[in-house]
Amino acid sequence: MSDITLRQLEYFVAIIDTGSVTAASRQVNVTQATVSMAIGQLERQLGTDLLIRNRAKGVVPTRVGREFSARARQILAMTSDLENSATDGGSEMSGPLEIGCVSSLSPHVVPPLAAHFEREHPQVAFNYQEGSAGDLQAALIDGVLDVAVVFSRQTIDAVESQELAEVVLKIMLPSSHPLGDRTEISFTEVAHESAILIDIPPSRDRSIEFMRAAGVEPRIKWTSANLATVTALVASGLGYSLRYSLPNEINTLAPGVVEIPVADSIPRNAISAVIPGGIRPSRRMDEAVGLLRRLFSDYGEFTG
């Protein structure tokens, strides 16, 4: 068995994060020669190249290197958990926690998580990333993220998913709309009106897919990745939009709009917390998922 060391893993991950041996050596506070020697030895032990070295562009991981870096991060994280448990008797939670969240959910997910760890577990270094479900899950598999929050219809096979709350697709209308007092609305009833779709992958494509399945070709006037912009356009009477929300959510999105459940048959969807497949979650990850479960059971405003 190769005698791979935690120090080699630390140096390798630092190179991946910084993009160069020089920057990595500064990050881990050793000489450049020490890092280079450790990585060279690691590659010999594994019998494969982990890095592509380019004088102009620095270093990038090979395909094997990308896979190895994800496992290396997991090993380093588990080692940190073991050290913290031994040092603190398991009573104090500490260490890094990287959360990913689809952009449409992050205003409602990130602040409660950040406040909770700041207040209850100040030794946890909480950080977050926003992005599309695909990008976040790729970062999860690469070991860059610990947990990601996405919609269940967006999850991929390589992750393990825990549903937090079911969501319902609603049509967003100006409050003065003639259909504004209905309990549900079919797509055909707004087919003649302008659609203002939320353009966060894969939201726009999903919306079009659902409407076409109901025999409606949406008349798309505008799209925007900014929910506030979409809401303001709808409130101005310029069209309708679609948004996922919790079943019992009281409409508080913004003055001037109402949201009414879609009457057409829509595939089930939910908000899910996902972690890399095949790993044991850390205490920090369990704490984050548990808080999210409590948060979504109480209240939320979401779009997908």
Question: What is the per-residue pLDDT across 108-133, written as a single tens digit (0 to 9) for each?
Answer: 899 999 999 999 999 999 999 998 88
Alpha carbon distance 38, 267 (integer Å) = 51
Cis status of the peptide bond prior to 202, with omega within 30 of 0: yes
Distances (CA, A) of 162 to 3, 33, 100: 36, 44, 15
pLDDT for position 301: 42
Phi, psi of 163 (to 5 degrees): -70, 135
CB proximity list for 219: less than 8 A, separation 6 or greater: 191, 192, 193, 194, 195
Q: What is the pTM (predicted TM-score) of this model? A: 0.69
Confirm if 49 and 62 have CB atoms less than 8 A apart.
Answer: yes
Tokens of 54: 């380019």
Neighbours of 29 (CB within 10 A): 6
pLDDT for position 136: 92
pLDDT for position 55: 67
The secondary element (H helix, E strand) that includes residue 118 is helix 106-120
Query: Which domains are delineated in the chain?
Result: 6-70 (1.10.10.10), 95-304 (3.40.190.290)
Question: What is the per-residue pLDDT across 48-78, written as a single tens digit (0 to 9) for each?
Answer: 999 888 766 678 888 888 888 888 887 887 7
Alpha carbon distance 62, 24 (integer Å) = 17
Q: Which residues of the chain have pLDDT under 50?
A: 1, 87-90, 300-304
